[in-house]
Structure 1
Amino acid sequence: MRSYIYSGALLVVLMLHTAWAQAPAVIGYQGVLTDGSGTAVADGTHTLSFGLYEMASGGIAVWTESQTVATVNGVFHANLGSASPLGIDFDRALWLGIGVDGGAELSPRLALTGSPYSLIARSVADGAVTGGKIADGAVSAADLADDAVTTSRVADGAITSAKIADGSIRAVDVAGGEMVTGVNGLQDGVTLAAGANVTITPSGNTLTIASAGGSGGGGLADGSVTSAKIADGGVGTVDLASAAVSAAKLADGSVTGAKIADGTIASDDLGDGAVTSVQIADGSITAADVAAGEVVKSVNGLQDAVTLVAGSNVMITPSGNSLSISANMGGGAGTGDIADNAIT
């Protein structure tokens, strides 16, 4: 029975594809087969059996497969997992055992090193991949889920003009106080054109709009502005020339008390008989307001309601608007004036 000696090395673990089932992970292995004297076996094919164990010797394989490989000067290459998928977890220590052409497993087993253990990446825990683990430029647009990049994920100053698609920024995206987003409802390139009697002078970032003289009417002919051209309520006090509003311009009843300044109505402003009792506030007429010969202003210096009382030998007799004041006959005492038993 021939004996074999092998030496070899695990090569590169093929990168895992996003879809595991479409691109199974394999471990590249290359070795050299020699006979018992150390001479490379003749060129040809050999059947190699591979097994992965959780211990350096003994135990039961957790994965096995067989492959037919070609040797050249004893050198062979095999992709472990190409015949039987590597459906195991590489989160533990594992050893590779090899048998040749149905013979016993060769010794010693080969301990797996770092590269095969990278297969554990297919079950990386959420959040385990940090920014430091990602190569610069490795993340493409296709790798990002919709709405995955939020404001908090973008570093200050990271978005340059080249990153912004033309025409993608709208007025609502602009913070207040940053730029002019509209002029009288217009957007884009707005041109201010100077009309009649107006000049527009730029100076740096300042535009000075000034009147160029003239009547300010912009070339309006006399009398061309009719009532229909004036907006309702458009004429203010400052637009009226002095004495421009005559009595004929005032509608009947349009001047109320609130429109009249205190103390401005003179006697000449009142029509004859215009002020009636209703217009006079109670108690507001003084003696000085009454013309001479019109009313009794006082009686012996008394005002308000004066009562005349008839004294001894006096009679007061009213008749219409007349009061008759008279004395008794003889001017002496009558019997009615002498008390009983008064004369002794």
Structure 2
Amino acid sequence: MKGGFIFTALLATTMLVVSGLAETPRLISYQGRLTDTSGEPLPDGAKSLRFIIWNDPAAVAPANELWNSGPVTVTTTDGLFSINLGQSPMTALDPAMFTDTLLWLGISVGADPEISPRTRLISAPYSLSALYADSARVTTDRYVNETGDTMTYGLFWALGSSAVDAYIKEGTSGGANLYLGTNGRTGAFLIGDNSGKLILRDQNGIGGAEIEASSVAGGRLHLFAPDNSTRVSISAGENGDDGGSILSLNKGEYTAVMTLDAGGSGDAAVQFPTGAISSGEMKDEAGLSSTESSTAFVFSSGSGTTYTVDSVSITIPAAGYVIVEVGGYLNAFHTNGTTTQFYVKSDKTAGTSTTSPGVHVVRIPSAWPSTSTVAAGYPIHASRLYSETSSGSKKYYLNIYYSSGESTSCNLAYRFIRATYYPTLYGTATLVANAEVGGPSVMMGDPSPAASPVTTTEVITMEEHNARVEAALAEQREALEARMKALEDRMQQIDDRRETDAGFGQ
């Protein structure tokens, strides 16, 4: 090569194809860079180049030359230049030569020999050959004119293979449909027939996504799993005040596990899997579990015994607080000269005899007359606050300690035990541990007070509660992030395998 410089050629990724009227020239946009032997760009200014399109990578016979630009002058800036091949005064490009899929571009600089090797022309220049087709009806030439021409059949492209890779075809309702693919497999559909629709498919021709417009359901989006089952559906909804948009997340084919329906009401508007909502997401949502019975429970073993009358279980979604209420109607038979006394309370252990905060005490003084035939009736209600530090099933008991008395016929009727869960603390909660004796009492005329309880207390502030909730939410977020990372890794493995199978990038 003369002049001590080399040529670095860059064929533009986008070839400029100018269609329009038949006499309009067809152009190929080309870019290159001139450098010296050390790789430095040549000085800015005018340079003379020649471009030739060949049907062979090396042959130089006149029969192999399909098009010659002749000497053309380009202006370089930092060695870079651009040119539209086929632009006047160069010879116009004939689209017919691009029906040959094996073409090469030769380039020479000034009087130097042609640069070796030649550059093969691929992809974009061949769109020039699509400017005319066997199915196009023209009046005076074989090209599709900008105005006046009508396509009466489908238009088909085979790009680099014998299989049809793209075509425009009339649909069943008379509209036009566009199909794009590779090696005979359709990867994308643009449907103009009837309602508009865009369909995307994977390399196996299944799965993917669909976007469609419907006069009944409005705009709709469907996302498919690799097994072609519909996993995500979004619908704009029907016309009218009752029609609302719908989001459905499915497990399997149309098996909805999560649904948001703007047209629904109450619980029907939002549907989630069981146990999917945490306390942090529910905020001030409370939960309730209750056990009730109208059958009387008889303290048949007499006094000095602790009875477990009933129990209740509640499953809480996260750490929080549970208020347990117990109650009923106590029928007590009393003997003069003996103090009759009951402690009614809730506890997390069956059969405990110690008293505790929230205990209800019924005491009939020894001086009271006997009630051997007609029981003395006392309404009972006691409540207690529990702090639960973890989620799961919790169980609480209605215990009654019959501490003194002589009757074996005393009983508790219309009893209940009720547990209510609260995830949020808005103030300060004071928790008092079980005491050995005493507690609040109903004196029933006995002038002597109950013994003072021996207790321990724990105070939980709102800040401490919020810290506890944040810690629980952090654990949930960490677990969710780990699941998302595992899913992303799995999706990347699938994508890598698909690219390998399809030969992408080769």
What TM-score does the superposition give when structure 1 sets the normalisation length?
Answer: 0.38
Structure number with bigger Rg: 1
